[in-house]
Amino acid sequence: MLKMPTMRTRLFACLIALFLPGLCLAAGLNVSIPLHEGRLDILPLRDTLDELHLPEAVIDGLADVDASVDLRGVNGWLLLRAVNGALGDGFHLAVDNGALRISIDPAKLPENWDQSCEALNRFVQTVAPEATARQTRRFGLHLPRTVDAKIPLVILIHGLDGDASSCRDLVKLLQNDGFQTATFVYPAERPLAGNAELFTRHLSALHERFPDLRIDLVTESMGGLIARQYVEGPGYAGGVDRFILIAPPNGGSAWIGAGWMLKLIANAASWENDPDWSCSWMVTEGICQESRDLRPQSGFLRSLNSHPRRPGVRYTIIAGDRPSADRYGADLLAGLDVALCGQISQSWGLRQVEHAIQSERQRLLSHTGASDGPVTLASAALEGVTDFVALPVDHVALFEAVDGKPPAAWPVIHNRLTN
């Protein structure tokens, strides 16, 4: 039976995949690194990097690393296969005469960030096939066990760093009201064009199987852009009646710089709550590649916004005008107020502090502006869509239950779907 490499071995192999192409280019396209009883140790690799006068930060980062990878046997073959498969003909590893020999063809190496991400993606898929398979099963259109072609099907699409659980609150409300629902889950950090193609394939197949089925789309944030590319693009198969976009960043978002932080937060939550989660998912879900497409005036958005609205499809946009930071700030003040209750209020001369905390909390809870945090009202607007509803809530509260309250967009969604 094939024994999969340990996590430590995988991480060291990732180090090889990341650093050796640059090492070979600096050394003149070919490098030979001696092995110690078939093992590649970090020490000779670090010494070679030092000889090539690479940045001190790279070398210092390896100073305390004590790791090696056994390149003999099945597991060694698997790791070499993973690296060679990731970079194709541009980069080749081979074990020969007690040394790891590397050859490189610069013309065939990845030329941009997306190609580099896809190379790393292929590498991780090879060394972590079981984890990749578990993740891949989550992607795509998840339909009910039985589809009734006589009843409209409401398809929900999550936003950035979301998944099927992000749609759970609205799914429950819709099903309690007799709607049949489906969810579309996608690797949210990959380029939007690829996810739009995936959605188009699934919706085209659905329409072919149920040509008379009426489809209503309810999308959250970035999911609206993916759905728009299908509805307004050349691959549209038909059948969509209502198209409800919740906080869609049609004009882009200024929050794209927080992509790495959102990625870490989302994966930390998955690590804690999802027994199927693997750290390899942080690569195979994409590496913040969507942030380029979410930039205002990005090539993807310019192309998407050049499309006219689809005739026959009824659009509704629901946006928020309360910044997300205000709710978080109010929650912090509420915790402070509880912690100080009974102490400050009973202390002579300091009661006004408690009153000030409560007053500021109320101000934050009632404050409105021109943005829900990630998406401004101007960015959510779309030419030709007159059914535009602004609600005094933040980005998350529009689509998900917060503080025991149902998603704020639900009354509008229910009204449009039943009208």
- 167-209 pLDDT, tens digit per residue, is 999 999 999 999 999 999 999 999 999 999 999 999 999 999 9
**Three-state secondary structure call for residue 134:** helix
User: Any idea which of 63-67, 81-85, 231-235, 378-382 has the lowest mean pLDDT?
Assistant: 63-67
Mean pLDDT along residues 46-62: 52
**Three-state secondary structure call for residue 16:** helix
Q: Give the whole-angstrom CA distance, residue 249 versus residue 401.
A: 21
**Whether residue 38 has pLDDT greater than 70:** yes
Mean pLDDT along residues 125-130: 88
- The predicted-structure confidence for 287-327, as pLDDT tens digits, reads as follows 889 999 999 999 999 999 999 999 999 999 999 998 765 55
On whether the pTM is more than 0.75, the answer is yes
CB 186 within 8 A of CB 222: no
The CATH number of 138-323+369-418 is which of 1.10.3720.10, 3.30.930.10, 3.40.50.1000, 3.40.50.1820?
A: 3.40.50.1820
Q: Give the whole-angstrom CA distance, residue 226 versus residue 223.
A: 5
Q: Give the whole-angstrom CA distance, residue 120 versus residue 102.
A: 18
**Whether residue 27 has pLDDT greater than 50:** no
